[in-house]
Amino acid sequence: MPQQDRAYATREAILHAAAEEFDRLGYDRTSLTAVLARAGLTKGAFYFHFPSKEAVANALVERQDEVWSQVRESWRGRGLDPLTTLRGLFTESAERMSADVVLRAGVRLNAEREIGYPGVPSAHVLWEKLIGAYLAEAAEGGHLRTGVDPEAVARTLCGAAIGARLISSATTSCGDLPARMRELLDHVLAGVATSAGKLSGSQSASERASGP
């Protein structure tokens, strides 16, 4: 393996080992010693790539940020109706987190910095605005029931997604997150979407059974 590829592989190994620890324990309780043991690396090899534990955490937070940008752009670019786009965003996010410990760790680290500590929870605000904009578009297109406040629905959906991630992360390493996400979308959209809005998304078995 050429030296550059080896360096890249080592950096990725560090990120992956750190992600495994951060994902289980969070930032404060993760030790560099445990990360090195997991990656089978010396301190020297580590410090060649990262100056500190914080720097690895920063790299993981940046990476999840890039993934979410791509996911958002990819769904925006498909030109689907707003509620179908929302379902797609939520379910793809859940599936990716369930499958990828590096992404999961980045999301947890980002949430630890933003949620639960004083200050502006900027990623949360970004998502709430994005989702609120899709819901406002859905309202304009007649896909939300009369009197439903798109911003309030955005607050409910964002909160529900964060709570689902936390519970799923603690109990199944996000293994059941895609199922939980589909459930919460079904429950919330069943209450706020018109029949047209509901039909535009992927219907659940229970919606089909009970009718609109």
Q: Which helix (H) or strand (E) holds 116?
A: none
Binder to its own copies among 106, 135, 184, 200 (CB under 8 A)?
Answer: 184
Question: Is 149 one of the binding residues for its own copies (CB under 8 A)?
Answer: yes
Site for its own copies in 17-76 (CB under 8 A): 24-26, 28-29
φ/ψ (deg, to 5) at 144: -110, 150
Q: Nearer Cβ to its own copies, position 72 or 187?
A: 187
Binder to its own copies among 86, 103, 123, 160 (CB under 8 A)?
Answer: 160
Residues 96 and 74 sit within 8 Å (Cβ to Cβ): no
Number of helical H runs and strand E runs in the chain: 11, 0
To the nearest whole angstrom, how small is the minimum distance from the Cβ of residue 75 to its own copies? 21
Q: Nearer Cβ to its own copies, position 17 or 184?
A: 184
Mark the segment that binds its own copies (CB under 8 A) among 9-17, 44-52, 79-87, 144-152: 144-152
To the nearest whole angstrom, how small is the minimum distance from the Cβ of residue 208 to its own copies? 8
To the nearest whole angstrom, how small is the minimum distance from the Cβ of residue 24 to its own copies? 5
Residues 84 and 134 sit within 8 Å (Cβ to Cβ): no
Give the Cα separation of 193 and 78 in Å (integer). Answer: 21
Residues 6+ apart with CB under 8 A from 24: none
Token pair belonging to 34? 């445990």
Q: Nearer Cβ to its own copies, position 15 or 154?
A: 154
Token pair belonging to 101? 């410990």
Binder to its own copies among 11, 16, 53, 187 (CB under 8 A)?
Answer: 187
* Residue among 111, 124, 204 nearest 159 (CA): 124
Strands (E), 40-160: none
Q: Nearer Cβ to its own copies, position 49 or 123?
A: 123
Interface residue list for its own copies (CB under 8 A): 24-26, 28-29, 108, 114-121, 124, 145-149, 152-153, 155-156, 158-164, 166-167, 169-171, 180, 183-184, 186-192, 205-210
